[in-house]
Every structure is written in C-alpha cells, then in structure tokens.
Amino acid sequence: MDVLEKVFRENFLKDAANNKPMGNFLRDSKLWDELDAWKERHNKLEESVKVLKEEKKFADEQIISLEKEKKIADKRIISLEKNIKKAEEQIISLENGVRKFKDLEKNKNNEIYKMLKKVGYIERLEVKWNYKYRTVRARIHLTKEMVEVFQKGGNIALTKNERIGCKV
C-alpha cells in the first residue's frame, strides 16, 4: 500500500467520523507538505537500498574471485612444495654421488699419497688425471733426511715400486 494512499484513507476515515467535509483535508497544505517530505524520504531510502544492494553484489563477487585466487594459490603452494621436495632429494642424491666420486678419487690418489708420505708431511695434494699421465702438485714438509739431500743439490725421485731414489 502506498504511503499517499494510507494517509488519504486515515484522514478520510477521521473526517467521515467527525462529519467534516473532505475538502478541508484536500486544502490542508501541512499534510501535503508532510506527504511530500515522506515521499522524498522514501525515494532516498529506496535509492540508498539500491546502492547498498549493488555494493553487496560487488562485494560478493570480490569474495568469490578472492576465494578462487586462494584456491589457485593453495594449489601452486602445494606444487611448489612438491618441487622443493624433489629438488632436495636430487641434492641429496648429487651429494651422495659427489661423495662416492671423491672416495674413488681418494682411493686412486692414495697410491700417490703413500709414496709422497715417505718423503715428508703432506700439507696439500692435488692430482690431475690425463690420458696416460698424472700431474701432481703437492706442498710437502720434507723429513730431515730429505732436507739434507735437497740442500746438497740432490734430486728426489719416487717410483711406483716403493723405492726412493736420491742422487747427489
């Protein structure tokens, strides 16, 4: 029921009960002004309701899109965590491979190390493997015997047969 209709009926019934003519009601400008004020207020409220409904609809759409983005982000996080686990496993396997390789090299270099150890204390040992030959770089602290041979101008030769040849 419209506000105007409601006001009209109430006033019509009051006037009819008091045996007043209806013309007084129609001529009363205060009532018409009040009616216009109520209509204006009603229209403003309807507009604000429309605006609020549109804002709610927009907010709901944003919530839905953010939930979708969150699901996508969660899937991406899970995927990245799996990739990290795979990478960690690969790193561990590579480290194990490097250890095995170093162990093999140590075993190959052990022969050279044992031969050089007879000459003195080995501070650093570096061996390059070529096709036929090995290049050895070493920092050695010579024993007293070897220092004497070296100071006299002698050469120190090492062979595979565990012999040490010293020429002066």
pLDDT tens digit sequence for 108-134 = 677 777 777 888 888 888 878 787 777
* φ and ψ at residue 159, rounded to 5 degrees: -125, 170
pLDDT at 124 (0 to 100): 82
Query: What confidence tens digit (pLDDT) does each residue in 50-77 have?
Result: 999 999 999 999 999 999 999 999 999 9
Q: How far apart are CA 66 and CA 64, in angstroms?
A: 5
Q: Spell out the domain ranges in the chain.
A: 3-72, 95-167
Q: Which two tokens stand for residue 108?
A: 């190959």
Instruction: List the one residue out of 49, 47, 36, 28 whose CA is nearest residue 3.
Output: 36
Question: Which is it for the CA torsion 19, 22, 28, 31, positive or negative?
Answer: positive
